């Protein structure tokens, strides 16, 4: 049987029942690096687990989000050229992919999705399946040169 003892050399051979065994006894200064390694390992494991869960949640969100197609038409209400082409393109996309959202980015701040859909029917005879989404472009003055 061996007994733990600590000496200046940290290892001491103890004779027990005519057998020699090498034993060691740890002091607080010996346990401190082990505690630091344990804490670092724990922190790295937690960081890895959190980053993996964030990565998987981003992947799942991308798989489940609704797809959309966007058009940039700066002056949708002005009656300039290209409006009929825009509404025919929106209608063709809605007929081909009904679950796809159509978004029209415009600089006209007075236009809403319902007013644009009504205008497409009144002016061009293009009946849309659903009105397009129209986000408000706040910094439009930088785009019009």
* pLDDT tens readout for residues 46-99: 999 999 999 999 988 888 778 889 998 877 776 666 888 889 999 999 999 988
**Any domain includes 130:** yes
Residue 120: what are its φ and ψ, rounded to 5°?
Answer: -65, -35
Q: Which two tokens stand for residue 75?
A: 């002056």
**Any domain includes 15:** no
**Any domain includes 78:** yes
pTM, entire model: 0.55
**Any domain includes 37:** no
Asked if residue 22 lies in contact with residue 13, where contact means CB atoms within 8 angstroms, the answer is: yes
**Any domain includes 119:** yes
Output helix, strand, coil percentages for the chain, rounded to the nearest 5.
Answer: 45, 15, 35
**Any domain includes 127:** yes
User: What range defines the domain where residue 100 resides?
Assistant: 68-142
**Any domain includes 11:** no
**Any domain includes 5:** no
Number of domains observed in the structure of the chain:
1
Asked if residue 128 lies in contact with residue 94, where contact means CB atoms within 8 angstroms, the answer is: yes
């Amino acid at each position: 049987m061996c007994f733990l003892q600590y000496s200046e050399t940290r290892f001491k051979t103890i004779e027990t029942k005519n057998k020699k065994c090498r034993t060691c006894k740890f002091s607080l200064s010996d346990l401190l690096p082990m505690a630091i390694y344990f804490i670092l390992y724990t922190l790295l494991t937690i960081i890895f687990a959190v980053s993996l869960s964030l990565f998987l949640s981003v992947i799942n969100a991308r798989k489940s989000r609704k797809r959309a197609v966007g058009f940039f038409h700066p002056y949708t209400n002005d009656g300039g050229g290209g409006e009929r082409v825009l509404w025919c393109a929106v209608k063709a996309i809605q007929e081909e992919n009904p679950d796809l959202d159509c978004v029209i980015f415009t600089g006209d701040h007075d236009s809403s999705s319902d007013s644009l859909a009504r205008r497409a029917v009144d002016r061009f005879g293009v009946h849309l399946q659903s009105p397009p989404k129209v986000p408000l472009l706040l910094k439009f003055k930088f785009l019009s040169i």
